[in-house]
Chain A
Amino acid sequence: MAREQPVMSAATPPFVAPRIAAARWAWLSRQLQRQVVPRIVLLLVCALFLLPFYWMVNTALKSHQELLAYPPTLWPHELIWSNFQDAVDYFPFWRYLGNTSVITALTILGSVISNPIIAYGFSRIDWPGRDKVFYVVLATVFIPFPVLIVALFDIFARTPRPVIEAGRLAWEGNWINTYLPLVVPMFFSNAFWIFLMRQFLMQIPTEISDAARIDGASEFRIFAEIILPQALPAIGVISIFAGLHAWNDFLGPLIYLQDEAKYTLSIGLTFFKSQREIQFSLLMAASTLIVLPVVALFLAFQRAFVEGISLGSIK
């Protein structure tokens, strides 16, 4: 039996002995199994998953009149590009985009710094009581957020924030109406991501660390130089999730930000819904504009992400 090779592309030349019909059939059925059937299934599933996005863009481009059509039109008969302009003018879109970007970038930074370090402490160093403490980490996952809101708000309302006034560090006011409550906790980790990271780090054989320890490497060097590069796929996953969470977070900005100039995009979206009506085309146009950079980043990041994954798989 020939050793199977993973098929890397549709253009891989078939290795067949043309004289033997049976081999040709086997090859054909293999191609069918690997190339055709998966594609059909994938295309069907993708069509389903594309539908919400398609309908968002479709609605974003429709005129008021066309929104009234019954049954609804499957694609806009007249493209109303001005909906995008109107959506951007409806609230300070570019300012909110900037605000959201700052929060997202800081959230990713915080998550990527804190979670791997903490997960390392919970997986690669064997200290007494470690697993018991880790159960506490897990337990925190089950605390319903809505009831922490008030207590958290009280903390942030009582904590003065550091400012540089006249060249000196001073403390004034509180954290409300700043990005601190949204961003600072991210530097102290998130139980889900510690868990995810730990599950990953536990898969890396202990022998590697032990060897480095015998060579006299410090624990932090082992972490930074040996384990961290192995954990890139998990870090990629965490940065995607953390970034997306910050990008779309609603309840946090809703409660902590009070100055309209500091609002985020997800808050801006709610302005399209009034007491008794929704500006449907504009809501969808703004949503499209919010989603597009994420999709672009994902497509760009995807390659690096998958490379990270393949790096991790060499064992």
Chain B
Amino acid sequence: MKSPAYSELVRKMRGGRITRRQFMQSASLLGVSATSISSALRANPARAQGASEVTFWTTHTEPDLTPLQSIVDAFNAENSDVQVKLVQVVGDETDTTKLMTAVRGGTGPDVYMLDRFIVAQRAAEGVLQDLSEFIGSEDLSKTYIPFAWAEANFQGAPYALPFDTDARALFYNIGLLKEAGVDPAELDVANGPVTFAKLAEIANQLNETDQDGNFSRVGFVPHINQGWHYTYGFAFGGTFFDASSCQVTPDQAGVVAGSQWVYDYAKALDAQKLNAFAGPFVVGQEVPEEQDLFVTNRVAFVVTGDWFLNTLAKFAPDTEYGLTLIPVPAEGDESVTWAGGWSMVIPQGTKNPEGAWRFLQYIAGEPGQRAYTTQSAHLPTINTLLKDASLFEDEQHRFFAEQLLPTAKSRPPLPVGARYWDELTSAWQKIYLNEEEPAAALATVKERVQPDLQGFCPLEAS
């Protein structure tokens, strides 16, 4: 016996207006036999009707989550046949435990947001899908800025579409400089970059200690915020990888020189005292932004990235500050900064590769990147968008896009990228804490990382 109410239920299920479970419950209430229900369910398998679903995982949290959600919403509104679901998962730049286990178990997402410098490593491990088939004959290397595209490839094949990027600059607190009798005009970007020696000279005029002999203010702490091994290594003309011999080169002269400058600077101020001032957080650990040393006027200079513009606007709206290029080793040298950023990948075993690729093109393409650039202070990786002045109405935001990004270096995209980062960080801590001489600490990095890399050699340039 098929009542009109039952036919209505079947129609609703076909139209996707009620779930299969709701259908089952309501049908049983109507007294329909179990056999009829199961045959109706078989005739209408899940997802056969209506939109296909794409699951999109990100480890990002607020404030970046809202822009991501708005991009997803815009995509869903435009595409009735593919619906994306954004899921926030736990993890960080290099910790992808959740992705690895889920993909192994066949329950991974369709799209994952991955730190771009880790793409080569995850591709080498076999977690990611080769995107060549999706891309076809299109030449995306012209669409994206070169370093971002290089990071998205491994052994000549594309495994990701680049998403955002960033760059690092030297921020200085104008009020504090004036207070110490330094003319802020000396640092004006129009005069070009200052030398590291000059930076130290100015900064040291601002150091203050309390009655216990501990620092209460320091002009410049080299290792906080974005004061990384890569920052100083690049600034001193270092290179971190030699493609011809397939060797990591943490012991290269420029890298060692950068570390040596930080080592000597810390030594002059007493490395332990300086680190105690920097707080309990070792480098790479999160500082509550409202207690950031620069925000609370306890340092006058800091090396950090474009997102810090939003931090300052939020927590220190009255602070008068300036932006300039990363300092240089000697007068007349070219200032060098570096850039990173994220990418979108399709993991192995996705159930909806077509839907995933559609969304990938959207979010990593112009619509997604345009929305993300305006809603967060990050930078796009698409050449045409970087030239679009309407995206960078804020002058400081434009400084990052126009003056820093075009010449920025990037980390070598290696299948041992995560390990290399971790070991450089470990050496970095030995260096700024004056626990070990830079040359020795950096030689250890090579000893630890090169054996892991060796198995992948030779690496094909992308």
Contact = CB atoms under 8 A, between A and B. Distances in A.
Interface of A: 64, 67-68, 70, 149-150, 153-154, 156-157, 165-168, 174, 176-177, 254-255, 258-260, 267, 270-278, 280
B85 to A, nearest CB: 9
Given A157-B105, A260-B87, A274-B64, 8 more contacts: A64-B290, A154-B104, A154-B105, A254-B97, A274-B61, A275-B64, A276-B289, A277-B289
B287 A150 contact: no
Contacts of A154: 104-105
A255 B98 contact: yes
10 contacts: A150-B104, A157-B106, A157-B107, A166-B24, A174-B105, A176-B102, A275-B64, A275-B286, A276-B286, A277-B287
B290 A174 contact: no
Contacts of A260: 87-88
B291 interface: yes
Give the one of B38, B107, B307 with max A CB within 10 A.
B107
Contacts of B102: 176, 258
Nearest to A149: B101
Contacts of B354: none
A168 B34 CA distance: 9
Nearest to B35: A166
Interface of B: 24, 28, 34, 37-38, 60-64, 87-90, 92-93, 97-98, 101-102, 104-107, 286-291, 296, 307, 311, 315
Contact of A68 (B89, B286, B290, B307): B290
Given A258-B87, A275-B61, A153 B290 contact: no
A88 to B, nearest CB: 15
Given A267-B90, A273-B286, A280-B288, A156 B63 contact: no
Given A157-B105, A255-B97, A258-B87, A67 B63 contact: no
A293 B175 CA distance: 48
A89 B421 CA distance: 36
A272 B63 CA distance: 11
A258 B107 contact: yes
Contact of B296 (A68, A150, A272, A277): A68
A156 B296 contact: no
A176 B296 CA distance: 46
A291 B433 CA distance: 37
A156 B106 CA distance: 11
A165 B34 CA distance: 9
A254 B97 CA distance: 9
Contacts of A64: 290, 315
Contact of B61 (A150, A174, A273): A273
A32 B305 CA distance: 63
B289 A176 contact: no
A132 B97 CA distance: 37
A254 B61 CA distance: 16
Contacts of B107: 157, 174, 176-177, 258
B286 A254 contact: no
